[in-house]
Each structure stands twice: as C-alpha cells, then as structure tokens.
Amino acid sequence: MSNTFRNITGTFDILPAPYSVGGSQVAGSAAWQFVEATIRVVMGRFNVQEIRTPIFEQTELIARGVGQLTDIVSKEMFAFERGDTNYVLRPEVTAPVMRAYLQHHLDQQGGVQKLYYIGPCFRAERPQKGRFRQFHQFGCEVIGTPDARADAEVIALMMAVYEAFGVNETTLRLNTLGDEASRPRYKAALQAYLSPYEARLSETSRERLSTNPLRILDTKNADEQDLLQGAPVLVDYIDAESRAHYEELKGLLGDLGVAFVEDPFLVRGLDYYTRTAFELERPNLGAQSALAGGGRYDLLAVEVGSKRPVPAVGFAAGLERLFLALFEQGTALPEAPKPQVFFVALGDEAARWVFSKAQALRHAGLRVGLDLNGRSMKAQMREANRQGAPFTVIVGKDELAAEKAQVKTMETGDQVEVGFNDLTAYLDSEGNATRP
C-alpha cells in the first residue's frame, strides 16, 4: 500500500513492544517509562523539581538564547510563521527554562532553583543512527548561583543518572571557557594563529574562521586536528576568577570521586556557555559519541531579556543515546506489562457476564484482558496465551448456572473451579493489583 502515511524521516513511533527500524532499535513504551521513572528518582535525590515548558517558543528566544551563529539556529530549526509571529519547535530546553524562570519570577522565591525536564526536542539534522529530528532530552538547570558547588552538583547528578543504569565506559571531559571578556581575546588569538593556514582548512572551518573560530576546535578532520596541536589554548587566556572557579570545581569533583579528563579543546556547540563546559562521552553510540553535555551559562538570562545577569549551570542529555548505550551493554529493560488475568467466554450470556465481571476486577485493581471480537473459545485461549496472562478464567453456560468459573493456571495447565465471589481474592492471591 504505497499511499499509506508514514512517520516523518528522523522521527520514530514508540510502540508497546520494542522493534527495529533501519538498523536502529526502538525500545518499547514500558522501557521508556522505566528509564524516565529512574531519571526522576535520581533527580529527586538531588532535590531537583520538574518543570514542563511548551514544545514551541518564539523563534527570537531560541535565536538569541542559543546564538545566531550556532548550527542549531542557522541550519537546524523547525520554524514556522503564524500571523505576525515566528515560532520554533524547541531544539533544546535551557533557553525555554530560563524564559520560564524570568517570566514567573522564580528568583523571588528565594534560594537557588533546581529544575529538571524530560521531553522532545527538534532539530533538522541529517538523520542517522543515534541522531534524529525529533529526539528526547532530559536535563537539569541550577539557576541563581555562581558557586562552583552548583557546577559540581550538576555534573555529579548527570553521572549519577548513568550510574543508576549501570552505563560504563564513559569519559567525562571538562574545560573552562572563561568569562565574557576572555572569549574575544582567545578568539582573536586563535584567528591570528589559524589565518596563515586558511588554505589548509576545510570549507566549513574556513567559514567558521571569521564567524565562530572556536567551533574549529571541534573538528573531526585529522589534518586540522594536527594543525590545532600548536594552537593557543583557551585556558591561557581566561581571567583569574574563572581560573580559580575551575580549580575549585576540579577539587570538588575530586572530593565526590567523579573522574574527569581535562580537554582544552572542548567548546560545545552552543553560544551561551561561560566558564565550565563538559561533555560525557561513550564509544559506539553511532556516528557520534556524546551522551550528554552542559556547562555554565551566566550570560543567557541577559541574552533573553533579563536586566541583570542570572548565574546558572546545567546539563542536557539524549534519551536515544542512553538507550543506545543500554542496548550496547545488553541491559535488560522492562517489557510491556501483561494482564494478570484473561477472560474466556463461551456464548453470549457468558460474554455479557464476563464483560461486567472484568469491570469489577478492574475496579479492584487487577489488569484484566478479554476478547472484544466474539471469537471462538479456541481463538480466545490462543489470545490469552499470546498476551501471557498467568491466569485464564473460562466461563460458559454451566459455570453461570453453578456460579463457579474454571480458572486455568497457564504455566502448569492446572484448572480449578472458583466461586464467582471468590474470584478477585483468588486471582490477586499474590497481591499484585495495581491501585491508582
């Protein structure tokens, strides 16, 4: 059927059961629920509260917040116009969270705001393994303090999430970008160093040389990486205060037993970072290696309209990349829950009784399945088997007359008669009814 609709390239459906598409595995919805619930538990331990912002914002917020020169804003936005307003599907959540913080005056609630989110983001990137156009991020923002302990806590929290899932082989890379004034100084030094080699640079890097030379540090081109060996390093250009902040952060991470490697070339793709920048990597994540990244963004609030600076630090992580790591490690993930009981009815009268009894059992908190197709007993038994319910309850004319059902334990094949009034207690003998 060539004329049926398909999901848009770079997006995927999450189904009850896991499946593969184009060589990529997609976890089932129960696994997604489990992963999200685990993230929430870890966020809770660090005393971080959830925030949910809309999935679309004014384009201006993202353009100013993330930065005009970034790939995200210049090439990857899903933007649209309606009336005289430009909107964009959010490509990240930090700028929206800062917008909400300022709009709702969360600073006036006293103390530091610690907020986390989990939700979809949108970037018009070239889809490939581990890279999608609609993907899911979780992350945390600690807003309202320049204290290096906030940076250390955000990093420790990020690491704790991956630890909770037993993800190994990760490398935490750390750098400092200095303050507002140090970046232009470094930018000029880097431009001066690279300019004589302009002819050796790739087209992208040549473009970046004049606009955003720091991004050249990210290059995957071996010749350019060689060239960068002799380049000035950011750390030599940063202000004394930022340097002290960095030293303090490294000390705190040491106290917490968080291992890291220093990477003077780590700059990250977003413009809003100041001082701390970090990335968590793991091999075998498809074409890329980043599980998560983040940093301090003391300039963002002013960029999006605040009259005074609001110091803040956070991280963002991709759920799809986390799943890739879990698949790669062969981690067992929860499957879709099975019904605790499946009803099989013989005849119209029994079907009617079963329909009401199923309702009563559901009110009592059991997960109950039944046939909605009026199929034969054999087909209903097959369905019970397929759905993997531990018990099948069979009711026909005789059972209705005797007010007793046949209850089959699927694993053993044993069948017993249970009085209608005792069914709930019998079926929930293991006490696993799920009450809301």
Say how far apart CA 161 and CA 140 lie, in whole Å.
11
Q: Which of 83, 29, 93, 86 is nearest to 55 (CA)?
A: 93
Residue closer to ligand AMP, measured from CB, 66 or 381 = 66
Shortest CB 315 distance to ligand AMP, Å: 8
Apex CA 315: angle with CA 312 and CA 320, to 5°? 155
Measured distance CA(69)–CA(147) in Å, rounded: 29
DSSP string, 87-100: EEE-S-SHHHHHHH
Is 161 a binder of ligand AMP (CB under 6 A)?
no
Q: Which stretch binds ligand AMP (CB under 6 A): 23-31, 285-293, 394-402, 405-413?
A: 285-293
Tokens representing 142 are 């600690």
326 makes contact with ligand AMP (CB under 6 A)? no
Q: How many CB atoms lie within 10 A of CB 218?
A: 14
Tell me: does residue 321 bind ligand AMP (CB under 6 A).
yes
CB of 163 to ligand AMP, least distance (A): 17
Nearest residue (CB) to ligand AMP, 292 versus 418: 292
Binding residues with ligand AMP: total (CB under 6 A): 17
3-state secondary structure at position 118: strand
Under rule CB under 6 A, residue 318 binds ligand AMP: yes
SS3 category, 265: coil
Record the tokens describing residue 33, joined without a space. 């629920």
**Contact with ligand AMP (CB under 6 A) among 79, 227, 291, 384:** 291
Contact status, residue 108 vs residue 134, Cβ threshold 8 Å:
no
- Residue of closest CB approach to ligand AMP: 318
| Contact range with ligand AMP by CB under 6 A, out of 43-51, 252-260, 289-297, 360-368 | 289-297
Q: What are the CA-CA distances from residue 97 to residues 61, 128, 296 (Å)?
A: 11, 28, 14
Q: Is 48 in the site for ligand AMP (CB under 6 A)?
A: no
What DSSP letter does each residue of 282-341 carry, written as one string?
Answer: EEEETTEEEEEEEEE-TTHHHHTT-SS---EEEEEEEHHHHHHHHHHHT---PPPPPPSE
Q: Which is nearer to ligand AMP, 132 or 343 (CB)?
A: 132
Q: What is the three-class DSSP state of 128? A: strand
Smallest gap, in angstroms, from Cβ of residue 250 to ligand AMP?
Answer: 21
Q: What angle do CA 206, 212, 217 make, to 5 degrees?
A: 75
Task: Specify the stretch interacting with ligand AMP by CB under 6 A; choose among 78-86, 180-188, 301-309, 316-324.
Answer: 316-324
* Cα–Cα distance, 43 to 388 (Å, whole number): 34
Instruction: Using the minimum distance from each CB to ligand AMP, give the nearer residue, 26 or 227.
Output: 26
Region 100-159 residues binding ligand AMP, contact defined as CB under 6 A? 123, 125, 131-132, 135, 137
What are 345's two structure tokens? 């009815």
DSSP H or E segment with residue 186:
helix 182-194
Nearer to ligand AMP, 135 or 237 (CB): 135
Nearer to ligand AMP, 122 or 186 (CB): 122
Annotate each residue in 242-281 with x if it binds ligand AMP (CB under 6 A) or - if it does not, as one string.
---------------------------x------------
Q: Which is nearer to ligand AMP, 245 or 321 (CB)?
A: 321
Question: CB 85 → ligand AMP: shortest distance, Å?
Answer: 25
Distance of closest approach, residue 330 Cβ to ligand AMP, in angstroms: 20
**Does residue number 365 form part of the binding site for ligand AMP (CB under 6 A)?**
no
Q: How far is the CB of 146 from ligand AMP (least distance, A)?
A: 22
* Interface region with ligand AMP, contact rule CB under 6 A, candidates 21-29, 153-161, 310-318, 344-352: 310-318
106 to 91, 97, 100, 111, 303: CA distances (angstroms): 23, 11, 8, 9, 18
Residues within the interface to ligand AMP (CB under 6 A): 92, 123, 125, 131-132, 135, 137, 269, 290-293, 316-318, 320-321
